[in-house]
Chain A
Amino acid sequence: MISIGSIHIPAFAVGVSAGFLMHRSGFCLVGPFRDLFLFRSGFLARNLLLAVVASMVLFEGARRLGLLPFYPFPMLGFPSVTHLIGGGIFGVGMVLAGGCVVGVLYRMGAGNLVAGTAFLGLLAGSAVYAEIHPAWSVVKDRGTLSYGWSTIPQALGVDPGIVVLALAVPSFVMFLRWCADGTWSRRGVLPRGDVPMWAAAIGLSILGTACYVLSGMPIGITTSYAKMAGWIESVLAPGHFATLEYFRSVPLNVASPTGQILRGGPAPVLDVVAAIQFPLIAGVVLGSFLSAVLLSEFRVYRGVPAPQFAAGFAGGILMGLASRMGSGCNVWHLLGGVPILAAPSLLFAAGLFPGAWIGTLLFRKVVT
């Protein structure tokens, strides 16, 4: 049941828990793609797959129990080539920045300055998107593959449970085989207070499901980055801000099962999107900060080479821009849309692979 008046409290709790878990485990949504190309390692990819399959099963269970206010969730849209392009650009940005839209937050909470720079880049990228929004909307419309369905089960005309079962059972068998091979365990010396990656993957799936049940949407935060960018622009350049159509758009405009109208978007106002996403953002930063402080590991280091700051900022800009071009960030698509087999999210995920490959080529040049 959605209660906007009090949604900020569970959203904040989800954020704090996610930030704590991610800091302790090092769970990352960039590494699964990047490490395939950079180190030929599938360790993080296996854990992402676990998180996706666990979310798939939990979402479907919640749907069958009637706990999901919306299915599919709002702001998902129809599949378009813009999702693929957005995923590609996002993939380059996330590798350059050394973290995705949530990874940047939890590293910032632990005191990492490059992550802070990437955060500023995310805001700048969101502002850049506002400039191209009218033209990009035309591309999105022309590139739409279908207006009749959003998810694969809808396209096939079958019950989502059948598709989930068909994917979850062989995945579970594969996970058990990896268990027997010992491939879930990290090799090398573990840092103090480490949480196993697989436990974090399952934990984040549970938190994502809680977010979907309570707010009607999975974890997503980048519309609020656009809100922050819009607010800054409205203060610094109010005349120009007034001309930007993007900040007047209302992508969220639905009635909940109880008849409540949920409206929100990138405008710098306190709407439903802000009520959910701002507490999530603050929670992730605080959760990671708490984890670092409890381990006595919170410290700000300034002596980082300038190219890493430049890459962080550039990566942030690309992620901010691409998350708007692709109608959502990697967290929204990978842990929200892919588990319900949403075609826009599958396209975004497909775009991440070539993007991450290009990102690793650029990242090597920055670092070495």
Chain B
Amino acid sequence: MPTISRRTVELDLRGHVCPASLLISLNKMNTMRKELSSGEVALRILTANRESVPTITDSARSMGYAVTVERTEAHYALRVENPGEEGIR
């Protein structure tokens, strides 16, 4: 199981131009590295950009985070957090 994060920070990137979603997500993951790695914070990224779903999930996993993807309404919600003891998903 991923570490249960105490706080969720939402990043709404729906409607953003390609590849802004990936650049902004990477920037956010870098600036919040400490909080994400400690499990204090989970990042919830909302994107309607289909191309960003594989690129953001791949980048986040490369950085050592666990990522889950959910299709809600007309967009995708990506949850990025500390992988905990289960390791990277």
What residues of chain A have their CB less than 8 Å away from a CB belonging to chain B? 23, 26, 28, 30-31, 34-35, 38-39, 97-99, 107, 111-115, 186-192, 194, 296-305, 308, 311-312, 364, 367-368
Contact = CB atoms under 8 A, between A and B. Distances in A.
Interface of B: 12, 14-20, 22-24, 27, 48, 50-51, 53-59, 61, 67, 69, 71, 73-76, 78
A112 B23 contact: no
Of A99, A107, A188, A300, the most chain B CB neighbours within 10 A belong to A188
Given A99-B18, A304-B17, A367-B20, A188 B27 contact: no
A301 B14 contact: yes
A107 B18 CA distance: 10
Given A188-B55, A188-B57, A189-B53, A98 B15 contact: no
A190 B78 CA distance: 12
Contacts of B73: 299
Given A303-B15, A368-B23, 19 more contacts: A23-B50, A26-B50, A31-B18, A31-B19, A98-B18, A112-B17, A114-B15, A186-B54, A187-B58, A189-B67, A191-B76, A192-B71, A297-B75, A299-B48, A302-B15, A305-B16, A308-B17, A367-B23, A368-B24
B17 A188 contact: no
Residue from B16, B17, B22 having most chain A Cβ neighbours under 10 A: B17
A340 B16 CA distance: 36
Contacts of A311: 17
B57 A298 contact: no
A198 to B, nearest CB: 14
Contacts of B50: 23, 26, 191, 194, 297
